[in-house]
Amino acid sequence: MDYEILTSTPEQARRHRTSVKWVAFEPDVLPLWVAEMDAEPCGAVVEAITAAMRRGDTGYGWGPRYADAVAAYAADTWQWSIDTARTTVVADVMVGVAEVMREVTDVDGSIVVSSPCYDSFHGFVDMLGRRPLDAPLDSAGRLDFEALGAAFEQARGRRSAYLLSNPQNPTGTVHTADELTRLAALAAEHDVTVVSDEIHAPLVHHGSYTPYLSVDRGQRGFAVLSASKAWNLAALKAAAVVAGSEAAFAQLHEVHTHAASHFGIIAHVAAFTEGRDWLGRLNRELDANRRLLEVLIAEHLPTIRYTPPAATYLAWLDCRATGLGDDPAAVWRREAKVGLSSGTNYGPETGRGFARLNFATSPQILTEAIERMASLDRV
């Protein structure tokens, strides 16, 4: 297929990009690690930001228009009705997650995660000073309700929370409505507040995304959404915290709205309202890449177990049979000059022998990376 969005060559990217993805490692390392895309920008976003700059519209942001745009997109795309009166616009997803968890947990309470999970989950739990508890995913990368029940039981006695990744990062699992309903019932039984990071919701390739707040008893929780991941807008920060109708509070304190970037709000509103065709093309290219990766791995790295993810642009690679040890990403970075994310970042135990690969790049870069990885004699 023809690629319109994921078109960079390594030389082009290094010439034109100065973000962390392209400068963190040595120039000869192909970076397929942090979750940003090698993508041509969405035209509607470019026009909106350029016009704002030209007219000198560089002041403070106004959150209500962001909440309205998120609500309209959710209604059109997922038939999910978001109450904007229960929405707080914040700086970014993880800041929103952290502030909600600060409000709904006791200082000596617990925060449960299901590893392997987004590496920043661990960091934010540590920053908040709450007790971390793990309810690992099962061997298929799905929620393990026996493990969740045991962790929630350990959390009894103090206000505690469960930090959900929906869709899941790094596995790309799309939780079903039945799974989320079961989770909500279990959380209600143990009086645990679910805080759902739904940043990858627009990037579903197979199956259907279910908003956590839309399931029975899910209204006790919170969801955090943003255009930043799907439209590649990490540099233009903004996000929305949505409180369920039965949540502990309707909105975070008003001061939290001050941190959302005016340009971030302008960019995200343009993405949600005028960038849907761009997103459709991007998702088709990502779908082609996740299948291309399957072919490349089967041909060049057959000892790696890889299941194309149902969502996101992240591949969770089981490299335990390669002989590269607990951190194969470190070996490939050092010896093959390919930068992947170390699996142990996502779970010290559940990530051993795994690596996360970002396939939101051009087919040329993806192919070169796999060929480099396969060049090691011991793979």
Question: In angstroms, rounded to a whole number, what is the distance separating the alpha carbons of residues 11 and 78?
Answer: 39
CATH 3.40.640.10 intervals, the chain: 46-274
Question: In angstroms, rounded to a whole number, what is the distance separating the alpha carbons of residues 288 and 55?
Answer: 40
The dihedral through the CA atoms of 26, 9, 282, 140 has a sign that is negative
Question: In angstroms, rounded to a whole number, what is the distance separating the alpha carbons of residues 155 and 112?
Answer: 8
CATH 3.30.360.10 is held by the domain 10-42+277-374: no
Question: In angstroms, rounded to a whole number, what is the distance separating the alpha carbons of residues 261 and 235?
Answer: 10
Q: Which residues of 318-331 are buried (b: 16+ CB within 10 A; e: fewer)?
A: bbbebebeebbbeb
CB 167 within 8 A of CB 209: yes
CATH 3.90.1150.10 intervals, the chain: 10-42+277-374
CB 336 within 8 A of CB 376: yes
Digits of tens for pLDDT over the chain (379 positions)? 899 999 988 888 888 899 999 999 999 999 999 999 999 999 999 999 999 999 999 999 999 999 999 999 999 999 999 999 999 999 999 999 999 999 999 999 999 999 999 999 999 999 999 999 999 999 999 999 999 999 999 999 999 999 999 999 999 999 999 999 999 999 999 999 999 999 999 999 999 999 999 999 999 999 999 999 999 999 999 999 999 999 999 999 999 999 999 999 999 999 999 999 999 999 999 999 999 999 999 999 999 999 999 999 999 999 999 999 999 999 999 999 999 999 999 999 999 999 999 999 999 999 999 999 999 966 6
CATH 3.90.550.10 is held by the domain 46-274: no
Instruction: Using the structure block, give the residue that is written with the tokens 């009166």.
Output: 85
Q: Which residues of 173-188 are buried (b: 16+ CB within 10 A; e: fewer)?
A: bbbebebbbbbbebbb
Residue 106: which residues within 8 A CB-CB, separation 6 or more? 158, 159, 160
Residue 154: which residues within 8 A CB-CB, separation 6 or more? 110, 133
